[in-house]
């Protein structure tokens, strides 16, 4: 179990140690060994996840039941690294992208506080391919959490144009994964 981080004690000259000070050292060591982390791995669902998107800047929850991370930050301005990876396709041919963002504590977006049209980044831009061609994606983004405490991080997606996007997770060969790690 990850311990809560407490800043290690600052010793003054002549100060004696106590079990509480040394316990904080012990807890800090455990925190470092097992950093706050959460991930969601979605596979073998029977059917894949689809979402009708309506253009850049219009954000959708792919599935809050499947893609909500809970991470507790110890102090202000901890940095979280998010990794999102899987396979997708779109019904719209040629040069389409899906964007992703993270909704923090149901209030602010990781991209900017308020969402930008591109979110925290592009997951992939389809090259000159026909519609419904499967494309792998593997993207990451960093976010500095301004406050300490337990935070929720929910995946949000958007698309460049109106289209239906599929994120594949219907069988055991198809894995969608969202990771968050306090680094």
Partner 1 sequence: MARIWTAPITYKYKQVMSAALSNEQLRDNLEYLKMKPRTYAPLALVTNDVLAATTTYQAVNDLNWAVSIATSEANEEVFVYFQCLISLSAGTPQALLLDVLVDNTNYLSSGTPTPITNGVGFFLFATTSATSWGFRKRLIIPTIGTHTFKLRARVAVTSCNVTFFTANAAGAEFGVQVE
* Contact predicate 138/85, CB 8 Å: yes
* Contact predicate 55/118, CB 8 Å: no
Question: Is there binding between residue 133 and partner 1 (CB under 8 A)?
Answer: no
Nearer to partner 1, 7 or 107 (CB): 7
Question: Is there binding between residue 149 and partner 1 (CB under 8 A)?
Answer: no
Distance separating the N- and C-terminal Cα atoms of the chain: 17
With CB under 8 A as the rule, give the number of residues binding partner 1.
40
Q: How many residues does the chain have?
A: 183
- Round to whole Å and give the CA distance between 154 and 70: 9
Both tokens of residue 144?
A: 């500095």
Q: Which of 2, 45, 68, 124 binds partner 1 (CB under 8 A)?
A: 124
Both tokens of residue 97?
A: 């992208």
Q: Which of residues 47-76 bind partner 1 (CB under 8 A)?
A: none
Question: Is there binding between residue 95 and partner 1 (CB under 8 A)?
Answer: yes
Q: Which of 36, 86, 119, 180 binds partner 1 (CB under 8 A)?
A: 119
Nearer to partner 1, 19 or 46 (CB): 19
Both tokens of residue 31?
A: 């925190």
* Contact predicate 57/109, CB 8 Å: no
Q: Which of 2, 9, 7 is nearest to 33 (CA)?
A: 2
Q: Which of 59, 137, 153, 168 binds partner 1 (CB under 8 A)?
A: 137
Nearer to partner 1, 127 or 147 (CB): 127
The DSSP code for 120 is T
Give the other-Cβ count within 10 Å of 10's Cβ: 7
Q: Which of 4, 29, 133, 162 binds partner 1 (CB under 8 A)?
A: 29
Q: Which of 41, 140, 161, 173 binds partner 1 (CB under 8 A)?
A: 140
Question: Is there binding between residue 183 and partner 1 (CB under 8 A)?
Answer: yes
Using CB under 8 A, list all residues that contact partner 1. 5, 7-15, 17, 25, 28-29, 31-32, 79, 94-95, 111-112, 116-128, 137, 139-142, 183
């Amino acid at each position: 179990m990850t311990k809560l981080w407490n800043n290690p004690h600052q010793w003054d000259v002549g100060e004696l140690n106590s079990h509480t000070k040394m316990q904080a050292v012990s807890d800090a060591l455990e925190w470092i060994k097992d950093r706050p982390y959460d991930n969601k791995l979605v596979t073998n669902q029977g059917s894949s996840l689809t979402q009708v998107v309506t253009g850049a800047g219009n954000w959708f929850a792919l599935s809050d039941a499947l893609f909500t991370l809970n991470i507790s930050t110890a102090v202000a301005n901890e940095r979280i690294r998010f990794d999102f990876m899987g396979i997708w396709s779109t019904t719209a041919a040629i040069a389409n992208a899906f964007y992703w963002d993270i909704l923090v504590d149901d209030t602010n977006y990781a991209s900017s506080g308020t969402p930008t049209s591109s979110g925290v980044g592009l997951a992939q831009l389809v090259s000159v391919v026909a519609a419904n061609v499967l494309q792998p994606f593997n993207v990451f983004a960093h976010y500095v959490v301004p406050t300490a405490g337990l935070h929720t991080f929910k995946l949000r997606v958007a698309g460049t144009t109106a289209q239906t996007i599929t994120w594949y997770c219907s069988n055991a060969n198809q894995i969608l994964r969202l990771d968050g790690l306090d680094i």
